[in-house]
A and B are shown apart, each in its own frame.
Chain A
Amino acid sequence: MDRPTRVFFLLIACVTVAAIWPSAAAAHGVSARDADFVQSIDGVAIAPFLYLGAKHMVTGYDHLLFLVGVIFFLYRPKDVLLYVSLFTLGHSITLLGGVLFDVRANAHIIDAVIGLSVVYKAFENMGGFERLGVRPNTRAAVMVFGLFHGFGLATKLQELALPQNGLVTNIVSFNIGVELGQFLALTAILIGLTYWRARPGFLSHAFATNTVLMAGGFMLMGYQLTGYFVE
């Protein structure tokens, strides 16, 4: 593909992302109705928290964009399992630890770092680090960004003023729900990627796709940083 064509595809793809962006942005977070429900709970509520965790992951475009970046070039199930496990370990530590020990952080800053994680992974997939001649440890990066994703989940839950009664069971339920939702989302992403990889255009479009991913990450960062200064 020559350069003008490549840039053209980039723009088309970016506009597509833009088209779905506003509705996706409005959809994320914990909805007001769910929030009211959570605040009305007093005691253990396993199924509702499982559901909320899964829903948060499946509708959480920031987590999904990062996952797409992580498994974009992972062909072997063993590698998918390894990297997803690292991500899961990272976000579980901070989700459970953040809520149970009441570690608080500004949600906008955490979400901006999550946006940065998407930019980072996209840049890596584009061969950016190879061009720069550096080889950051990809496993460590996934693990560390996983810590931030979990902290992001924790800040969302902390905004809800969770009842202390049954807190541990409820948070663990939420965490397991997150993993169930992640499994569902990963399955869908893997099916799509596997189908796409089998087609001749995959590698030639990989660069453009990751550029779109990067644009999405930049948007998340700008969105959250503006929120930090405006709110």
Chain B
Amino acid sequence: MSELADRPASSGVPSSRTLATATAVALVVAAVILATIVLPAEYGVDPLGTGAATGLIGLSQTQPPPIVASESGPVRPQPVDYKVDTRQFTLEPYGGYVEYKYQLAAGATMLYSWTATGEVNFDLHTEPAGQPSSASDSFERGAAREGRGSYTAPYDGIHGWFWENAGDDPVTVTVTTVGFYTAAREFRDDGSTAEHAIRDVVLPPGPSPAP
């Protein structure tokens, strides 16, 4: 082994006592810094309370981003009052289907919840206003007995579900929505189409605002 690759002899060999002291100092300094600074800041582990005293503990706590009212923020004003709609359909076995879609403007949101008495194939899709049917987008499809969520229309048009009963027993689908739509349209497997008037929300009675 090359001597030059080792410690130079002139740097000396420390006494056992110096070596032990230095190692102990390194260990204690590391432990103190860890316990007072690093662990509170990194993990929120604060054995001596120094993290709370200095505010370092805040670094380990994830804070939600501040809520700012802006166009891209959480508030989305809507031009029309929201409406509520509940509808029930019976789907015949072996391929009976219904399509039920709401008229939503771009940026309008609805909350929905639907359940079926048996498994149905579903497809949450759109028909953009003034576009051919090939311009339709499908956002969620599958086979299920229920679904719920929120939907914000990416563009003007009608937006809703296709439900199909592939089973051999009749299935009843019940859908309830609340949202900023203006109308709903129903398409049946017998070729019929129906427009549905949507009722306005009846506000609970209370003191009427001053004129």
Could you list which residues of chain A lie within 8 angstroms of chain B, going by C-beta atoms? 3, 7, 10-11, 14, 17-18, 21-22, 25-26, 73-76, 79, 82-83, 119, 122-128, 130-131, 138, 203, 206-208, 211-212, 214-219, 221-223, 226-227, 230-231
Contact = CB atoms under 8 A, between A and B. Distances in A.
Contact of B27 (A7, A17, A218): A218
B26 interface: yes
Given A206-B11, A211-B22, A218-B27, A131 B37 contact: no
Contacts of B4: 75-76, 79
Interface of A is mostly: helix
A211 B26 contact: yes
Contacts of A215: 25-27, 29-30, 33
Contact of A10 (B6, B8, B22, B27): B22
A126 B19 contact: yes
Interface centre among A73, A206, A218, A230 (most CB of B within 10 A): A218
Contacts of A124: 7
B38 A21 contact: yes
Contacts of B11: 73, 127, 203, 206-207
Interface string B23-46: 101110111011001110111010
Contacts, number: 124
22 contacts: A7-B25, A11-B29, A21-B38, A22-B38, A76-B4, A126-B14, A127-B13, A128-B19, A131-B14, A131-B19, A138-B1, A138-B5, A203-B11, A206-B11, A214-B22, A215-B27, A217-B30, A219-B33, A222-B30, A222-B34, A226-B34, A230-B45
Contact of B5 (A14, A82, A119, A212): A82
Contacts of A74: 5
B30 A219 contact: yes
A91 to B, nearest CB: 20
Interface centre among B18, B25, B29 (most CB of A within 10 A): B29
A148 B60 CA distance: 28
A128 B18 CA distance: 10
